[in-house]
Amino acid sequence: MAVEWAGSGPELLVTIDRSGGTGLRTQLEEQLRAAIRAGRLAGGERLPSSRELARALGLSRGLVQDCYAQLQAEGYLTSRAGSATRVAAGAVGVVPVPRPAASPPRRPGIADFRTGVPDLGLVPREDWAWAVREACRTMPNAAFDYGDPAGQRRLREVLVAYLTRVRAVTATPDHVIVCAGMAQALAVVLRALSLDALAVERPGPGTTVLEQAAAAGMSTVPVPVDGDGLDVAALGRTAAKAVLVTPAHQWPTGVVLSGPRRQELIAWARARGGVIVEDDYDAEFRYDREPVGSLQGLAPDCVISLGTVSKSLAPALRLGWIVAPGRLLPALAHGKRLADRGSPGVDQLALATLLESGRYDRHLRRVRAEYAARREVLLAALAAHAPHARVTGLAAGFHAVVHLRPGASEARVIELARERGVGLYGMGGPEPCLVLGFGNTSQRAIEAGVAAVADLL
C-alpha cells in the first residue's frame, strides 16, 4: 500500500559511498531501481522532491533530477507538472509472501453463536475518542514518561472507587495493578504464585488458561461444578493451593457460587494457606436476579480478583486489572514490570476519564438493555422452534447453555449446524451441551440461527 505524505515528502534510505569508484548518480539510480524491483517502494508511492533528496544526501539537485529523469525513461517512475514524482504502478516487483498453512474457517452465513465477545458494533467510539482527547489535553508532561509499572495512579484510584461501588471490592489504590487485559493479568498472577498446581472448574476454562498455567510451570487439577458452583469438598481432596473460579457467573454453566460455598471456599483458602483467583469476567450484565458481589470483598486477604473492560467496552482496548492482597503485591508488580514496563498510559487515563465522566455507566446501561433484549429473543426462538430443549445459565452475561439429548454428540451437532450456516460451540463437559453466545449476534440472526438448527437441538 502506497504511503501518502504531507509536506516535502518521506524520508528514503539511500547510502552514498564517496570513497568507491562508482559514480554518485549511478549509485543513486541503482539503489532506487533495486528498491522498486524488490517492492520496498510501493507502486504509486511518492518520492522525496529532488531538492529534499539532494539536501539529505549532500548531492547537487541537478544530479538527483537527472537520476529521476533516467528512471522515468526506464518506466520506474512517473511525474506530471505540478505533481510529485511517484513509483510507476507496473514497475514494482512482486514480493513472495508465504501462504498460510490453512485458511481460517469462514464465518457462518446465517448466525454465529460465538461466546465471549461483546457486540463490536456497540463499542462507544465517540466516547472513547473524547476520553483519549481529554486525557491527552489534560495530562501533565510527566505522565508521558514510563510511569509506575503497576499503572497510572489516577486510574487505580478511579477503579477502586468504581469497584467498591458496583462490586463491593475492599481495596486501596495500592492493591491494584493495571494489566493488558485478562490474559496478561492471569499470566502475571500465576507466575507470581509460583506453585505446582492450579485447581480449575470443570467444565471450565478454555485453552488460554491451560496454556497460561503450563507456561507458569503449573499443572491443572479439574474440580467439578454442580448447581451451587465449585465443589469445595472435592477441591479439599486435591493438593492444590490455588484455585481459579468464576463465582458471579460460572463459565460456562452460568451457575452462581452460593453463599455457603463461598464461605467454604474462603475457609479452605485460609486453612491451607492458599489463594483464590477470582475471574470477574462479565459481572456488569445481570437480568433476572439480584447482583452478586465480588468474592474479594468477603476475603481480601486470600482472594485475587481479575477484571477487564474486554466485555464491557471492547477486547481491542487490552485493559484489565488485578486486585490483590498486600503480601502478593511486590511479586505481582515485579512480574508486570518484567512483562512490559506498564500498560499504555494514555489509554489508562482515558479509561479513568470515561469512568469519572459517567459515560461508562451510560454505555453499560445501553448495552445491558440490548443484551437483555437478545436474551428474550433467544428464549422465544428456542421456545418456538425447540420447545423441548432445556436452557440454563441465562441469569447473567451474554451466553446460554442448551442441554442436548443424552448420548448426543456435541461434535456432530456442531458439524451439521455449520453445514447449514450456523456456528455452534460445545461445552466439553460430562453431559452434551452447547454454549450459545449472543453478545455479537443480532436479534435477527439469533431467530434465524435457532430456526435453522432447531431439529438438532
pLDDT of residue 41: 85
For the segment 258-267, the average pLDDT, to the nearest whole number, is 97
Using alpha carbons, select from 237, 305, 247 the residue that is nearest to residue 268.
237
Angle (CA) 433 439 165, round 5°: 110
Q: Higher confidence at residue 446 or residue 50?
A: 446
Distance in angstroms (rounded) separating the CA atoms of residues 418 and 422: 5
pLDDT of residue 210: 93
Q: What is the pLDDT of residue 365?
A: 93
Report the pLDDT averaged over residues 395-419. 93
Please give the residue that has the higher pLDDT: either 19 or 193: 193
From residue 412, alpha-carbon distances to 373, 406, 451, 455 in Å are 30, 14, 18, 13
For 152-210, the pLDDT digits (tens) are: 999 999 999 999 999 999 999 999 999 999 999 999 999 999 999 999 999 988 888 99
Please classify residue 49 by burial: count the beta carbons closer than 10 Å to its beta carbon, then call 0-12 exposed, 13-18 middle and 19+ buried: middle
Residue 98, pLDDT > 60, answer no
Does CATH number 3.40.640.10 belong to domain 123-357? Answer: yes
Which pLDDT score, from 0 to 100, does residue 23 have? 87
Tell me the pLDDT band of 388, cut-offs 50, 70 and 90: very high
Q: Cβ contacts of residue 50 below 8 Å, gap of 6+?
A: 61, 64, 65, 68, 85
Query: Would you state the pLDDT for residue 22?
Result: 83
Q: Which of the residue ranges 76-85, 114-123, 144-153, 338-347 would you say has the lowest mean pLDDT?
A: 76-85
What is the predicted pLDDT for the residue at 105?
Answer: 57
- With bands split at pLDDT 50, 70 and 90, how would you rate the model's confidence at 2? very low
> Per mean pLDDT, which of 69-78, 302-311, 427-436 is the most reliable?
302-311
Q: Where are the domains of the chain?
A: 24-91, 111-116+365-456, 123-357
Cell 465517540, residue located: 126
pTM across the whole model: 0.82
DSSP label of 224: E
- pLDDT > 50? residue 229: yes
pLDDT for res 367? 94
What's the pLDDT at 7? 44
| More reliable by pLDDT, 122 or 14 | 122
Q: How far apart are the first and last CA of the chain?
A: 47
What's residue 291's pLDDT? Answer: 73
- The candidate with the shortest Cα–Cα distance to 97, out of 39, 147, 41, 58, is 39
Q: 71-85, 155-169, 417-431 — which is least confidently predicted?
A: 71-85
Q: Above 60 in pLDDT, residue 335? A: yes
pLDDT-based confidence at 4, cuts 50/70/90? very low
Residue scoring higher pLDDT (6 or 288): 288
- Give per-residue pLDDT as tens, 24-39: 888 889 989 988 888 8
Averaged pLDDT score across all residues of the chain: 90
pLDDT for res 5: 43
Q: Does domain 24-91 have CATH number 1.10.10.10?
A: yes
Lowest mean pLDDT: which of 94-108, 199-213, 346-360? Answer: 94-108
Residue, of 95 and 353, whose pLDDT is higher:
353
* pLDDT-based confidence at residue 1 (cuts at 50, 70, 90): very low
Q: Which amino acid is at 453?
A: V
Look at residue 102 in the predicted model and tell me its pLDDT: 53
CATH fold group of domain 111-116+365-456:
Aspartate Aminotransferase, domain 1 (3.90.1150)
